[in-house]
Structure 1
Amino acid sequence: MTYTQNFTVVGDSLALSAIVAVIPILYFFWALAVKRMKGYLAGLTTLLIALMLAVIAFGMPTQMAIMSATHGAVYGVLPIGWIIISSVFLYKLTVKTGQFDIIRNSVVSLTEDRRLQALLVAFSFGAFLEGAAGFGAPVAISAALLVGLGFNPLYAAGLCLIANTAPVAFGAIGAPIIALEGPTGISAMEISKMVGRQLPFLSVVIPFYLIVIMAGFKKAFEVMPAILVTGITFAVTQFLSSNFLGPELPDILSALVSLLALAVFLKFWKPKTIFRFSAEQEMAATLAVNEPSGHKPTYTGGQIFKAWSPFLVLTGVISLWGIPTIKQALTGHYEGTNVVLSTINSIGHAFSFIPNVPLLNNKIINAAGEAIPAFYKLELLGAAGTAVLIAAIITKYIVKISWKGWIVTFGETLNELKFPIITIASVVGYAYVTNSSGMSTSMGMVLAKTGFLFPFFSPILGWLGVFITGSDTSANLLFGNMQKVTATSIGMDPVLAVAANSSGGVTGKMISPQSIAVACAAVGLAGKESDLFRFTIKHSIILVVIVGIMTYLQNGVLSWMIP
């Protein structure tokens, strides 16, 4: 039995088919933003609705729809859920052993100002992790760090999701841009250049935008020098590296340059007033009365280095995991002659399981008449979560926690994250059902029919793709070729349209159900996904409209910006 995707199946109309296809999205918005349903319940019920529509409205065989949901759910657990579990576990190890108190003190010694801490941790450090690992690691780790510094969990998660906008397109060693080359046939370098002529404008704005959200315009202007140093150094490095080096390094280089520039700048410049949250100001006043002056602990450089070591080790291991040839070896796909990599390849192959998805593999026929392969990709050694776990094992010896304490902490982490993992598995399952049934393509084809307004809607297509899939890479694979074909038909430069898919996609990351679940899990807000969604949705819409206007202008009066 096979299933041929039909994008006009409802009433033989593309518009009606798209309206039916958008029902699960509208329901999910309602469940979180209006009903304030717990994340895992919203995810499971959205998946159920998508399954019913795929079968009843789009004619997908029931067993195929169910197996497609399992395909997505497995991907939601590995690699995505595995990243969250191992990242939160590593953070908890530093808290349990007292090392995070030293980390907090070291950041506070650089600046006690919450605005500047957000720039350092949420924007620059988060961007570095996005470049090295991608998926959920940047938000999970940077949000947990902010909570440890004293930020409100909801604010920490929301700020890190919004800050993550700037680096997403070049995340995971350039994976979203590299992925576009295959389905579109356009050079990854050309796409990298174009994205590098769009995102830097957002990268300059995002630091200011973050601080305005935190403290308002007046307080943001008080730290404008620091905001400019952070945003401009990041944006300039992002432009130069994306246009002259390629898509692999913009995030890592931009993050390092902005982080170093801001840290050095803060040695010579301080804001006139220290900004803290209102609840903290009351607490600080109480402590000042009850504690003797000069009670703050001081730490040596060695102690500070030791406290940061778990995250330095994490950075090193994740960066190693991201190198293409090593990644190939870890997943058992290395074909070179290097002895060390060949040995790793043997181990990686032994820990990689890629069985066919029963009743689904090569059973779905797409619009081009091609059968779509479907595999459960269980690449255990090559998963980014395994890299974080290895960092956690090394951390055990750095922080000198017993194996019993290490294992107990891991068990506590699993127990805390059981509902977030269910949320992630269900929403990724929904994404796979939507893609397999042809529902997502129906929605995309409607946007593609907007004619001369398509340059404005082109980024919105990417935004929709990331909302559905939770990944800029997946959204690029989903809609990249459609962008190219539509652009060519209306006289728009296909490089601009394909790049806009990725640039628009980054603004959808902060409202993606997967991202919301990851962020809530990292800061202990499981079940509060609706609150975080309400926090980020308006910012996501504002930013995607900005990218849409930018793309529309680049298709006309600013066409000289296209490489």
Structure 2
Amino acid sequence: MQWAQNYDPMNNMFLSFVVACIPLVFFFWCLAIKKMKGYKAGLLTVAIAVIEAIVVYKMPIHLALEATALGGLQGLWPIGWIIVTAVFLYELTVASGKFQIISDSIASITQDRRLQALLIAFSFGAFLEGTAGYGTPVAIAGGLLAGLGFNPFYAAGLCLIANTAPVAFGGVGIPILTSAQVTGIDVLSISQMVGRQVPFLSLFVPFWLVFIMAGWKRTIEVLPAILVCGISFAGTQYVTSNFLGPELPDVTSSIVSMVCLIILLKFWQPKSIFRFKDEKEQPVPAHLQTNNSFSFGKIAQAWSPFVLLVVVICVWGGSASIKAFLSKATFMIPIPGLDRMIEQVKPIVAQTTAYGAVYKFDVIAATGTAILVTCILSKFLIGISWKKWVLTFGLTLKKLALPLVMIVSVLGFAYIENYSGMSATLGLGLASTGTVFPLLAPLIGWIGVFLTGSDTSSNALFSNLQKVSAQQIGVDPTLLVAANSTGGVAAKMISPQSIAVATAATGLVGKEGSLFRFTIKHSLLFVAITGVITLLQAYVLQWMIP
């Protein structure tokens, strides 16, 4: 017998909204105030959410437990698998001694920490988000910055904040494609609308990254680099999303911004090299000289794992025929007793729909497997023995044990929120605000990404709600559906999943609460900016809606 979700269990929408907030508020309290370790906060929060689903939402016990377990499985595969392999690739370069060469080659472009953050955290991280998504950019870019000598805490925080700009078009445009599928709105229209919102953040993020690192005065010193990086990225993002579609904005924008920034640095350098407080500030050499300690061949060999990573991921996400071939080893496993046993009802869906519960185990097609293939091939490229390769993999697994526990728990939390209807209650509560709703529409996407760690999942969950709410208040649905995706990007930096990846990659396991407190204020600022943009586009700048 099917169980129908009830989005107003207290028979009062305001009270139901308050009750639905309890697990979220508790999780915030654990991390931001109690300073609890991430895995403990995650386990306690998922327990509270399960109890609330059973007691308040009257969800059958077996459905609540199975939904939570399904989320935990998703935490292990594909998300946990990506984290393990991405961190493993970085650790291989360290174990082989090649990372020092990588460090020196970046220093040959610029020794300035501000500019290194723009190159790696912002531009290179955006490329990884556009091609692989999930936690790959934070894991790889965070590890690179920490290895370069960045304070590990700043390396993690900067990569989380930098990963705002590309998220809406991440994973080859999957979030936008999902919105179109859920709502029936033309995919290019949504891509165009997101492309008229996100570039404003893309312009702002490079400046904000440097500002929180170095303060106002030191930020102005590198304003030419910030402008070149931001304008080239945002401009390319706008053009690609508006004229080509959602698949390529991140890839094209990141490449253009990296190339433009590197060209600039060939002709211009700041007056002084910025270092962190525990590092010595150095004068800039008369002219930037190429590092002569290593030959081009050795530098190419050191970088080869990351170059190969780009190639392999592009192949994995390439043509439909390649995807079909890789998917032959994909197993779709319906969860007995849960699959299609829960009914989603209006207004979350247009008509009553059975909620599917199918676990996708894509052995070969998973991004994590692509990274593992890169790790195997890199063994030959960087000249590391199989014994050291296996030992490094074992040490990586040991290092990531607690972060994986956190990821499993928070994904379990996300799934019980979704399957019980709690997350829908949160969205409906905000949607009941009437004409003010465009200001709050991005906040729904923000909540969705915080809960699930994925802009794609947030769009799948809330896009139809945004469409229905827009029709009720007389606003173009394309705008609010796009705002769900745009607002969601601001929550990526505080998503427990992302924070667990960042702490694992930079050796900060146990410091999740500190990192959350560092990123939350930036996240709230970004979603507020998005809300204002959406409100203006709804009632003043309607010409911007395609």
Cα distance in 2 for partners of 1:276, 1:42 equals 34
C-alpha contact (below 8 Å) 1:470/1:513 kept by paired residues: yes
Cα distance in 2 for partners of 1:29, 1:506 equals 19
Q: How many residue pairs were aligned? A: 535
Match of 2:130 in 1: 131
Match of 1:308 among 299, 303, 307: 303
Q: How does 1:11-160 map to 2 (within 5 A)?
A: 12-160=11-159
Q: How does 1:373-392 map to 2 (within 5 A)?
A: 373-392=356-375
- Structure 1 stretch displaced more, 411-420 or 356-365: 356-365
Cα distance in 2 for partners of 1:210, 1:233 equals 16
Once the 2 structures are TM-superposed, how far is the Cα of residue 2 of structure 1 from its aligned partner?
2.3
Match of 1:410 in 2: 393
Q: Secondary structure of the equivalent of 2:531?
A: helix
Using structure 1 for the length normalisation, give the TM-score.
0.93
Cα distance in 1 for partners of 2:280, 2:52 equals 52
Q: How does 1:100-249 map to 2 (within 5 A)?
A: 100-249=99-248
Cα distance in 2 for partners of 1:172, 1:196 equals 16
Match of 2:524 in 1: 541
Is it true that 1:363 corresponds to 2:341 in the alignment? yes
Cα distance in 1 for partners of 2:52, 2:322 equals 38
Is it true that 1:393 corresponds to 2:393 in the alignment? no
Cα distance in 2 for partners of 1:244, 1:354 equals 35
Once the 2 structures are TM-superposed, how far is the Cα of residue 270 of structure 1 from its aligned partner?
0.4
Once the 2 structures are TM-superposed, how far is the Cα of residue 89 of structure 1 from its aligned partner?
0.3
Cα distance in 2 for partners of 1:416, 1:305 equals 29
Q: Secondary structure of the equivalent of 2:539?
A: coil
Once the 2 structures are TM-superposed, how far is the Cα of residue 324 of structure 1 from its aligned partner?
5.1
Partner deviation per Cα, 1:141-192 (whole Å, 9 max, x = no partner): 0000000100111110110010000000000000000111111000111000
Q: Secondary structure of the equivalent of 2:502?
A: helix
C-alpha contact (below 8 Å) 2:316/2:323 kept by paired residues: no
Q: Secondary structure of the equivalent of 2:446?
A: helix
Is it true that 1:518 corresponds to 2:501 in the alignment? yes
Once the 2 structures are TM-superposed, how far is the Cα of residue 390 of structure 1 from its aligned partner?
0.3
Q: How does 1:544-555 map to 2 (within 5 A)?
A: 544-555=527-538
Match of 2:2 in 1: 2
Once the 2 structures are TM-superposed, how far is the Cα of residue 212 of structure 1 from its aligned partner?
0.4
Once the 2 structures are TM-superposed, how far is the Cα of residue 17 of structure 1 from its aligned partner?
1.5
Residues 198 and 302 of structure 1, relative CA distance in 2, 3 Å threshold: same
Once the 2 structures are TM-superposed, how far is the Cα of residue 328 of structure 1 from its aligned partner?
3.3
Partner deviation per Cα, 1:281-309 (whole Å, 9 max, x = no partner): 18x89xxxxxxxx9x87111111111111
C-alpha contact (below 8 Å) 1:197/1:239 kept by paired residues: yes
Match of 2:286 in 1: none
Partner deviation per Cα, 1:435-491 (whole Å, 9 max, x = no partner): 000000011001101111111001111111111111000000100010011001101
Q: How does 1:353-502 map to 2 (within 5 A)?
A: 353-367=331-345, 368-502=351-485
Q: Secondary structure of the equivalent of 2:258?
A: helix
Cα distance in 1 for partners of 2:332, 2:508 equals 34
Once the 2 structures are TM-superposed, how far is the Cα of residue 327 of structure 1 from its aligned partner?
6.0
Cα distance in 2 for partners of 1:49, 1:22 equals 11
Match of 1:341 in 2: none
Share of identical aligned residues, percent?
A: 55
Q: Secondary structure of the equivalent of 1:378?
A: strand
Partner deviation per Cα, 1:400-448 (whole Å, 9 max, x = no partner): 1111111111000001001000100110110000000000001100110
Letter aligned with residue 299 of structure 2? I
Partner deviation per Cα, 1:501-526 (whole Å, 9 max, x = no partner): 00000001101111111111111111
Q: Secondary structure of the equivalent of 1:508?
A: coil
Letter aligned with residue 316 of structure 1? V
Once the 2 structures are TM-superposed, how far is the Cα of residue 370 of structure 1 from its aligned partner?
1.8
C-alpha contact (below 8 Å) 1:175/1:473 kept by paired residues: yes
Cα distance in 1 for partners of 2:370, 2:95 equals 21
Once the 2 structures are TM-superposed, how far is the Cα of residue 357 of structure 1 from its aligned partner?
1.1
Q: Identify unmatched segments of 5+ residues in structure 1.
A: 286-293, 330-343
C-alpha contact (below 8 Å) 1:420/1:518 kept by paired residues: yes
C-alpha contact (below 8 Å) 1:320/1:326 kept by paired residues: no
Match of 1:317 among 312, 319, 329: 312
C-alpha contact (below 8 Å) 1:126/1:139 kept by paired residues: yes
C-alpha contact (below 8 Å) 1:79/1:383 kept by paired residues: yes
Q: Secondary structure of the equivalent of 1:511?
A: coil
Partner deviation per Cα, 1:16-75 (whole Å, 9 max, x = no partner): 122111111000000000001010000010000000000000000111101001111111
Q: Identify unmatched segments of 5+ residues in structure 2.
A: 284-288, 346-350
C-alpha contact (below 8 Å) 1:40/1:422 kept by paired residues: yes
